[in-house]
Amino acid sequence: MAEQDACPHLDSIGEVTKEDLIQKSKGTCQSCGAGGPNLWACLQNDCPYVGCGESYSDHSTLHAQAKKHNLTVNLTTFRIWCYVCEREVFLEHRPALVPVPAEAAPQPVGHPLKAVPIAVAEEEGSESEEDELKPRGLTGMKNIGNSCYMNAALQALSNCPPLTQFFLDCSGLVRTDKKPALCKSYQKLISELWHKKRPSYVVPTSLSHGIKLVNPMFRGYAQQDTQEFLRCLMDQLHEELKEPLTECNMSGEGSDGEERRDGDRSPSEDEFLSCDSGSSSDRGEGGGAGDGELPERLKERRVSGSPLRGGSQEMDEDADVDTAAEEGAPERAEEEEEAAPSENAEVQTPENNQTPSPGQGQVQSNSSSGRRLAATQRCVHSFISKKKQSHYRSVISDIFDGSILSLVQCLTCDRVSTTVETFQDLSLPIPGKEDLAKLHSSIHQNLPVKTGVCPDSYGSQGWISYIMDSIRRWFWGPMVTLEDCLAAFFAADELKGDNMYSCERCKKLRNGVKYCKVLKLPEILCIHLKRFRHEVMYSFKISSHVSFPLEGLDMRPFLAKESPSQVTTYDLLSVICHHGTAGSGHYIAYCQNVINGQWYEFDDQYVTEVHETVVQNAEAYVLFYRKSSEESVRERQKVVALANMKEPSLLQFYISREWLNKFNTFAEPGPISNHTFLCQHGGIPPNKYHYIDDLVVIVPQNVWEYLYNSFGGGPAVNHLYMCAICQVEIEALAKRRKMEIDTFIKLNKEFQAEEAPTVILCISMQWFREWESFVKGKDNEPPGPIDNSKIGVMKGGHVQLKQGADYGQISEETWQYLLGIYGGGPEIAVRQTVAPADPDSLHGERKIEAETRAL
């Protein structure tokens, strides 16, 4: 939290070592025998007392009052409280509590996280072997006013090697013309955190300012939700760093290309997709589930200012895929545009700017009305050929994106509808006692669940953690594991009663079942535990301890059989914890250092080494897991050995620097993707040619042949040249843009000069903004056919302007000009041409006018 003046009672602290505190954490309260995790140790000189906290009889406070001992330390979080000052106090360096080791600890063999030291940005001079083994990234962040939610999130991301190594080793790829250039601020912050001459802490002012410009919800000094911050930050990084996928890219990546993000959309119009979960008790009443809709846990979450992060595809088991894609898309698009948010959708809005607000308000769906609306407007859509969907990727999507396969089955006709959704994190429920009982019973169990706990799953200190968890179960009942939360998320949902399924084949409401599985696992799996509930009148926090593994989280039980993912085991990278209530509190992060494998607590500007048992006993809120693969480690070792052979070769090969970063940090890097720096003609695009050295790395022939034979992809590149065809296309595109914008300005001036235009035509402002971005050079892709379907409505067999529609007025000449280039429609007029008047009546009017003037 914010810095405080030094506590005057720190002189009373005696000799305390890390080993002493860890040993005391294994004990119990000396007054009542209560076990952890809420134990406090007295820090008074020569006082060995350990007492329980407020969860029991609060003997630690009673001891302090009776003995006049001022300071006590929590044996789980190592945070210090002064009873006289009545506040938390901080040791300036905390040297006695947790000494940072002078030498790196020996590395366990075969651990993929520790086997590949993270590279640091280019620095002058060569480094000694001692410098290479010295841990980096142990830099704190100053709290700049209730910013612990931001600091904890940034430290957790900083200790994700694939992302951090990209910003350190591929700095030339961090380019954007989008404001506020948050990727540049993040790159600067990462460079400071991982510099070998790191300061004790940094002040993330630039990044904080940038995120507040993009998301007003973070302005001011109120506490915010760290999960909201993570989503908004990574979404903005994706928007600034995204690149369109060419046909070569998508064909090279197989079916994965179909799951890439949709076209560039306005942040105000689109939604951030996250896989969310909700138990049956969370569901709203009424409203039938529409055909092909997601299970309740997969409903979209709307976050203010967050563009869509992931596309969806729907397929019918008994329908032709192409027909479903062409005919269903407009209907689904209309449902998304017009219908209310789906049942059990989570609307995230900060509640009074207090700590965590992943809101869980429930809005009922009206899918049948959405389908009726789509049916009435189908003829409007028939005027338009659907614009070809653009697909984008970035380092964010490469690292964090996975996909979920959701299935809805009618129990009458057995028709199955499937939907594929891209996710960036999994929001898991924390099951209660009743839910656990159902989950562990064979009747309700849908997937294999890890109900038994073995000491081997706790890491190197397995028996210690196993004993502590056994004590916790004895005191508090059944222990909730992360596997339980995953099983609750992926469990089948029965659709019956008020929540019946609207079957398209049966044409009526039917009982059904929904279930989902993971189709594609991400390189880094982000898991969010839903600890905060916000009801109409109050909010509360679920403080149940959730046991999670440090190593060996197996996702295979939750994997779809169609999944291409080969590596299904994950190891923990970092965990964000929240201490406090639903209204206020403090965030910290526990992260494993990639160089020495030790765990550290990041508490604003303080960085402290901790034992892994401290991490396991933490109250986890957000967890980051990384794919674990010994095979990928062996592949890297082979490549290093080949490179060190220095065999003479007649050819040198260029390989994508970004893909090489994937090879160094990913468990599954995928095929070589040299198309990221090549155009479709095999040359260098003119806009990338001047910084091509930042995009490629030269490798010897034997290394290239090994990588190509092992991973495929390509193509092989021996010579770099600027593509002349692309240069000609760019010049032609510039001429086209100038001609279109000049013609529009000319026609619009003439239209504005007319006092009483006979015809005024309407054009969708959404399409016009896309066209404007194209002619002004902000977007390289033309906007596609004119789409007036969103501003028109069918009445009496004619398309009329919809009330409250977002449209602009243009002349008939301008409409015909744009229509001749782009096509589309439909034509919507707000003033038709007036029919010629009868000559006799005109003569009578002129006569009346003349007589009036004479009078």
Q: Which residue among the candidates 148, 170, 679, 723 is catalytic per the annotation?
A: 148
Q: Which helix (H) or strand (E) holds 525?
A: strand 524-529
Q: In the chain, what are the helix, strand and coil shares in percent, each to the nearest 5? A: 35, 20, 45
Question: 3-class SS at 374?
Answer: helix
DSSP β-ladder status, 798-801 and 792-795: antiparallel
Alpha-carbon dihedral sign for residues 802, 803, 808, 809: positive
CA pair distance 200, 97, nearest whole angstrom: 17
CA pair distance 594, 199, nearest whole angstrom: 19
DSSP, residue by residue, 40-98 = EEE-BTT---EEE-TTTT-HHHHHHHHHT--EEEETTT--EEETTTTEEE--SS-TTTS
Question: 3-class SS at 607?
Answer: strand
Determine contact, residues 291/391, Cβ cutoff 8 Å.
Answer: no
Determine contact, residues 413/482, Cβ cutoff 8 Å.
Answer: no
DSSP, residue by residue, 611-641 = -HHHHHTS-EEEEEEEE--HHHHHHHHHHHH
Q: Which is nearest to 802 in space by CA: 778, 835, 826, 824? A: 826
CA pair distance 294, 151, nearest whole angstrom: 34
Determine contact, residues 555/523, Cβ cutoff 8 Å.
Answer: no
Helix extents (H) in 695-832? 701-711, 724-753, 765-775, 812-822
Determine contact, residues 715/677, Cβ cutoff 8 Å.
Answer: no
**What phi and psi, each to the nearest 5 degrees, are found at residue 462?**
-55, -45
> For the purposes of burial, counting CB atoms within 10 Å of the CB of 718, is it exposed (0-12), middle (13-18) or buried (19 or more)?
exposed
Q: What number of H helices and E strands is found in the chain?
A: 26, 39
Question: 3-class SS at 417?
Answer: strand
Question: 3-class SS at 700?
Answer: strand
What is the CB neighbour count within 10 angstroms for residue 755? 4
Q: Which is nearest to 495 in space by CA: 408, 389, 368, 402? A: 408
Q: Which residue among the candidates 69, 238, 391, 586 is catalytic per the annotation?
A: 586
689 CB-near residues (< 8 Å, 6+ apart): 722
Tokens of 214: 């993009």
Q: What letter does residue 258 receive in the DSSP assignment?
A: G
CA pair distance 701, 652, nearest whole angstrom: 6
CA pair distance 570, 402, nearest whole angstrom: 14
Q: What letter does residue 358 receive in the DSSP assignment?
A: -
Q: Which is nearest to 42 in space by CA: 29, 60, 24, 54? A: 60
Q: Is 444 annotated in the active site?
A: no
CA pair distance 734, 550, nearest whole angstrom: 55
What is the CB neighbour count within 10 angstroms for residue 15? 8
C-alpha triplet 402, 404, 409: angle, nearest 5°:
175
Q: Is 586 annotated in the active site?
A: yes
C-alpha triplet 453, 455, 460: angle, nearest 5°:
140
Question: 3-class SS at 400?
Answer: helix
Instruction: Return the active site residues.
Output: 148, 586
